[in-house]
Amino acid sequence: MGPLHYFHESTLPRIHQVVWCRLPEADGKPGASVRPALVRSTRRHPPTGRGAVEVCFGTTILDTVNRATVDLVIQNNQRLMDLDLPHAVRFDLGHDLLLPWAQEFFHPPEHSTFVVAGTLNASEVFRLHQRLHKRGKLLAL
């Protein structure tokens, strides 16, 4: 893989936004498929104007029986439309990954022209915090 094509740090997404991302392969290179990811935090490097985004990847394997109380599931039709998500999604809160804020990792899917799909609403943020608290990743609600 050649040099990355970074977006400027001023364009970093915000926490609780859903972005379109390529999950890295085992070798660290961006994978071929674009999937939704939930922004958990961002990092800035002002001297270079570069940034990084910590994300939890989404999956269409909901497994609500085992995972609904520990991961964030979005399946309401209106919210799926609001977030430009074509399918119900479960964000795996057990696996955070820090990726460079670069075109190679963050790319719109075929059905959109935007890298940022949308922002969680207040109810989703509340559920997110409940699940993170349950996982021991959030100290207080």
For residue 83, tell me if it sits in a domain.
yes
What is the 3-state composition of the chain as percent helix, strand, coil, each rounded to the nearest 5?
20, 40, 40
Tens digit of pLDDT for each residue in 78-133? 999 999 999 999 999 999 999 999 999 999 999 899 999 999 999 999 999 999 99
Q: Determine the Cα–Cα distance for residues 139 and 68; give it in Å rounded to an integer.
A: 20
* Residue-range definition of the domain harbouring residue 65: 9-134
For residue 1, tell me if it sits in a domain.
no
Write down the residue that tokens 């001023």 correspond to: 10
Percent of the chain with pLDDT over 90: 83
For residue 141, tell me if it sits in a domain.
no
For residue 139, tell me if it sits in a domain.
no
For residue 89, tell me if it sits in a domain.
yes
For residue 43, tell me if it sits in a domain.
yes
Please give the distance of CA 67 from its chain centroid, rounded to a whole number: 17
For residue 110, tell me if it sits in a domain.
yes
pTM: 0.92
Mean predicted lDDT score pLDDT of the chain = 93
pLDDT of residue 6: 95
The structure tokens listed for 110 are: 């075929």
Task: Provide long-range contacts, Cβ within 8 A and 24+ apart, for 63-66.
Answer: 63/90, 64/90
The structure tokens listed for 1 are: 């893989």
For residue 2, tell me if it sits in a domain.
no
CATH of the domain at 29: 2.30.30.110
Residue 42's pLDDT band, with cuts at 50, 70 and 90, is very high
Residue 140's pLDDT band, with cuts at 50, 70 and 90, is low
Q: Determine the Cα–Cα distance for residues 13 and 39; give it in Å rounded to an integer.
A: 7
Please give the distance of CA 135 from its chain centroid, rounded to a whole number: 18
pLDDT of residue 106: 97
pLDDT of residue 136: 86
Is residue 141 scored above 70 in pLDDT? Answer: no
The total number of structural domains in the chain stands at 1
First to last CA, the chain: 42
